[in-house]
Structure 1
Amino acid sequence: MEFHGLIHQFPKEIKIVILAFIIVLSIGFYGGLSFVRNTTSMSSAGVESHYLGNEEDEDAEIMKFKKSESEILTIVHNHILSLSVIFFLLALILSTTSINKKFKYFLMIEPFFSVVLTFGGIYLLWSGVTWFKYIVILSGVLMTFSFIAATLSIIYQLLFYKKVKN
């Protein structure tokens, strides 16, 4: 089944619920990004030290230790499960918009690859494949771009899109 831009035709109360969901979801997502910025300084060295520790760096402002296996498995497990649900719900809502079909499909599918690459990459980084920190950063940026583009597209369709009458 394919929808052809139905979101703008939803009843007002459904549009309000979707808008509230997108706003609250965005607060949580950007809060998570704030945590990442705080713990990694948004740098490859910061990503590496967050998961592998920095105890050999005598000049480190904050001492960090390598995550234990249970900590890393909990991080990977929780994030893959929760982000897959978040991006599934966003994809369902996005499917009802009338944005460019190829861009829509990209925004619906790409985040699932980024989730696996980001958190699988974190596990590989922790396991000693340190160059994977670059894949973690790239996939995290792509995941964030997809989230921003999807939520802005949905908000635009909810608030401003008017179907042109034939």
Structure 2
Amino acid sequence: MNYNGLLTVLPKGIKWFVATFVLVLSIGFYTGLLFVSQTSTSSPDGIVENYLGNEDDEEAEVMKFKKGDREMLTIIHTHILSMSLIFFLLGGLVWLSKLPQKLKMFLTVEPLLSVILTFGGIYLMWSGLLWMKYVVIFSGFLMTLTYTISALLVLYQLCQKNVVAN
């Protein structure tokens, strides 16, 4: 079965349904990023402070405490499960678009690896490997970049007139 470019030949109603899904998914994804920026975890030191606390910093504006075992496991568990589902669904749509095979592979595999690196890195950092804060920042950036590119490519191809798939 040839699925390359199927997004462009879907019936209009299905295109509207998929486009609406991608838009709503994107609102949820970017709202999560807004939350990250509100909790000052968009910098390496902010990430450490958010998970390990700042009780020793007498000049801190907001007192933060180290997250407990159960709270960390809940954060890691829910984020890995939900984000893997997000990237699986968006990745399926990427595979239905008309793009080079290697680009599709990168856009669909990389964010899943970044989910593990980001949230596994957060756990390892919380466990004491403080240098993981840089892995968390880099993998989080890559995850966001691939999400954005994938969502825009899917939406762009849904807006295309019916083109014969190759």
- TM-score range relative to shorter protein: over 0.9
Q: Contact 2:4 / 2:165 at 8 angstroms: preserved in 1?
A: no
Question: Which residue number corresponds to residue 68 of structure 1?
Answer: 68
Q: Distance in 1 between matches of 2:2 and 2:92?
A: 11
Change (3 A) 1:165 1:67: closer
Change (3 A) 1:130 1:31: same
Q: Distance in 1 between matches of 2:64 and 2:160?
A: 47
Q: Distance in 1 between matches of 2:30 and 2:118?
A: 17
Question: Which residue number corresponds to residue 132 of structure 1?
Answer: 132
Question: Which residue number corresponds to residue 90 of structure 1?
Answer: 90
- Two-structure CA RMSD over aligned residues (Å): 1.6
User: What is the deviation of 1:162?
Assistant: 5.3
Structure 1 stretches of 4+ with a deviation exceeding 4 A read none
Change (3 A) 1:118 1:161: farther
Question: Which residue number corresponds to residue 15 of structure 2?
Answer: 15
Question: Which residue number corresponds to residue 47 of structure 2?
Answer: 47
Q: Distance in 2 between matches of 1:79 and 1:127?
A: 18
- Larger relative contact order (CA 8 Å, sep ≥ 6): 2
Q: Distance in 2 between matches of 1:19 and 1:111?
A: 20
Question: Which residue number corresponds to residue 106 of structure 1?
Answer: 106
Change (3 A) 1:113 1:130: same
User: What is the deviation of 1:122?
Assistant: 0.5
Q: Distance in 2 between matches of 1:39 and 1:160?
A: 39
Q: Normalization by structure 2: what TM-score?
A: 0.95
Which amino acid is the alignment partner of residue 111 of structure 1? P
Which amino acid is the alignment partner of residue 14 of structure 1? I
* Identity in percent: 52
**Deviations 1:68-115 (CA, angstroms, capped at 9, x unpaired):** 000000000000000000100011111110022211110011111000
User: What is the deviation of 1:23?
Assistant: 0.4
Higher mean C-alpha displacement, 58-67 vs 95-104: 95-104
Count of equivalent residues: 166
